[in-house]
Amino acid sequence: MNRSGILFTDLYQLTMAQVYFKMGIHETPAQFDHFYRSNPDYGKHQAGYTITAGLSWLLDWMDRTRVEPDDIDYLRTVDGGSGRPLFDADFLDWFVGQSFDGITMEAIPEGRVTHPNVPLTVVRGPLAMAQILETSLLNHLNYQTLIATKASRVRLAGRGRPVLEFGLRRGPDIGAYPGARAALIGGADFTSIVSLSAQVGLPPKGTHAHSLVQVFLAEGGTELDAFRAYAQVYPDDCLLLVDTIDTLDSGVPNAITVFEELRAAGHQPVGIRLDSGDLAYLAIQAAKQLDEAGFGDVLIVLSSNLDELAIWQIVSQIEDEAPSYGVDPQRLIGRLVYGVGTRLITSRGYSALDGVYKLVALRRDGRWEPILKLSESAAKVPNPGSKQVWRLYDRRGTATADVLGVAGEVIEPGQTVTLHHPVDPTQFRTLPEGAISEVEKLLVPVRREGTNLIDGGDLETLRARRDGDLARLDPGVKRLINPHVYHVSLTDRLWQMKVDLVERLMGE
């Protein structure tokens, strides 16, 4: 059995499917919306947006996943509490060979800036298979979006300097593989994972470990011997880890010696890596030594428990402290590279995006009927029915709101629009004529009739999309701490539909 095939799901998806089958409604067209409710809140700091990721790998999974005979062989053996089989032969006979070919999907493509309560994925298809899709869809999209978001923040903190993803050893087992891929979409430039680099078409990156220096010491040699050996093998890729013995008294001077030898032989040294201690202070002092030796252009790679706050602090400290040592802070910041591991691949501080997948409509008698679940908190009431999502840009070209409306509605640049707070009836605002310079539909068709409509594998496209969205996002929303809340609103028509539906259900 394929461990990550159709049975990489929660049991209850299959038991519910059997109920639908027995009731004869398993083929009834249904719509599920996927969205999340809150931006990641890492405790001391909170995100103002997310970056979508995972969709193209989900689509690949949907393409290659069918209910196989050996899946059925296993399900036949699953007993209920009484010792009788949980699944009946008639259901399994129908189930074998089923696929996601009947599913139609719209989605916000990977690499886009997104916000809470906006449908990221809209799934329509036969009730049973659309329900079964839930677990895999959430499994692919929740984690990858979480990591892409963290990577975006890390990149912002580093002011766009290169970010290297190094988290495999403390990542979530094989989940580090899709996690690193999401990091590459959201903000990392390269990863150390060799097999993933091969898959996405990037060169893998890395330096060396302390153990390399230790081996030479144990063999009776010195740190300089270790650096020389490394430089001899990699004369054009010489990036040396300088903190095994003492960063400023041993590591950097030895690196400079080797760099001089490389330069004399016609090679260009790449840089040094600092992996412990006060990274800002050490970067300043290392830069000073390197500058004085004429290596003003080699990189300084920082690593050791980095995340967006640590990087922000390092950059700020360099701006404060570097001038007193005669080092130009902006030049130094401009030669830094960040190696980010554990805290990126695990989204330290906020371990899971709260994405959900909610039934919002069923097709009955030829039309889509909106469905609404009344739970105790108004914020949790999903927006019913079939929807469209627009992003509105203001006169400056900055994204000013994401708006959910009823399918078929039209919003055009220039027109007056009333935007309702999704929950609070007293909060609404009207954008005057001319306030909107551009209206963009966010959901695009991604799958129809068993065919994936987008090719999402190209990292360059995804990154360009990400950079485009971030450039049009208000700086306040991008703040690492206490971000401005981006508006997600409902149109008049959707608001009214929700109110009517709640009143009807309350009345019943």
Residues 156-175 that bind a copy of itself (CB under 8 A): 166, 168-175
CB 427: neighbour CB atoms within 10 A? 11
Smallest distance from a copy of itself to CB 471, Å: 29
285 vs 291: CA distance, rounded Å: 10
Report yes or no: 17 and 26 within 8 Å, Cβ to Cβ. Answer: yes
The yes or no reply on residue 152 touching a copy of itself (CB under 8 A) is no
Task: Among 96, 200, 212, 502, indicate the residue that binds a copy of itself (CB under 8 A).
Answer: 212
Closer CB to a copy of itself, 192 or 388, in the complex: 192
The yes or no reply on residue 428 touching a copy of itself (CB under 8 A) is no
For a copy of itself, the binding residues in 315-344 under the rule CB under 8 A are: 342-343
Report yes or no: 62 and 447 within 8 Å, Cβ to Cβ. Answer: yes
Residues contacting residue 6 through CB under 8 Å, at least 6 positions apart = 65, 66, 67, 68, 71, 132
Tell me if residue 410 falls in helix, strand or coil: coil
188 vs 204: CA distance, rounded Å: 12
Report yes or no: 477 and 49 within 8 Å, Cβ to Cβ. Answer: yes
Report yes or no: 122 and 110 within 8 Å, Cβ to Cβ. Answer: no
Contacts 24+ apart (CB under 8 A), 199-206: 200/457, 200/459, 201/459, 202/459, 205/164, 206/166
The pair of three-digit structure tokens given for residue 85, joined into one six-digit string:
């089989």
Smallest distance from a copy of itself to CB 13, Å: 8
Smallest distance from a copy of itself to CB 452, Å: 19
The pair of three-digit structure tokens given for residue 130, joined into one six-digit string:
């659309």
| Mask for 102-141, x = binds a copy of itself (CB under 8 A) | -------------------------x---x--xx--xxx-
For a copy of itself, the binding residues in 66-95 under the rule CB under 8 A are: 74-75, 78-82, 84, 86
For a copy of itself, the binding residues in 217-236 under the rule CB under 8 A are: 217-219, 229-230, 232-234, 236
Give me the count of residues in the chain: 508
The yes or no reply on residue 460 touching a copy of itself (CB under 8 A) is no
The yes or no reply on residue 376 touching a copy of itself (CB under 8 A) is yes
Smallest distance from a copy of itself to CB 431, Å: 34
CB 222: neighbour CB atoms within 10 A? 14
For a copy of itself, the binding residues in 346-375 under the rule CB under 8 A are: 346-349, 351-355, 357-359, 362, 364, 369, 371, 373-375
Closer CB to a copy of itself, 168 or 473, in the complex: 168
Closer CB to a copy of itself, 345 or 392, in the complex: 345
370 vs 381: CA distance, rounded Å: 13
Closer CB to a copy of itself, 133 or 333, in the complex: 133
Smallest distance from a copy of itself to CB 475, Å: 29
Our measurement of the distance from residue 236's CA atom to the centroid of its chain's CA atoms, rounded to an integer in Å, reads 33
398 vs 438: CA distance, rounded Å: 9
The yes or no reply on residue 386 touching a copy of itself (CB under 8 A) is no
Backbone angles phi, psi at 82, to 5 degrees: -80, -5
Closer CB to a copy of itself, 232 or 496, in the complex: 232
Closer CB to a copy of itself, 267 or 448, in the complex: 267
| Mask for 181-210, x = binds a copy of itself (CB under 8 A) | -----------xxxxxxxx---xxxxxxxx
163 vs 129: CA distance, rounded Å: 40
**Segments of 201-261 assigned E as strands:** 239-241
Part of the chain binding a copy of itself (CB under 8 A), chosen from 142-150, 289-297, 442-450, 490-498: 142-150
Smallest distance from a copy of itself to CB 293, Å: 20
Our measurement of the distance from residue 399's CA atom to the centroid of its chain's CA atoms, rounded to an integer in Å, reads 20
| Mask for 19-48, x = binds a copy of itself (CB under 8 A) | xx-xx-x----x-x----------x-----
Task: Among 125, 126, 158, 178, indicate the residue that binds a copy of itself (CB under 8 A).
Answer: 178
Report yes or no: 190 and 205 within 8 Å, Cβ to Cβ. Answer: yes
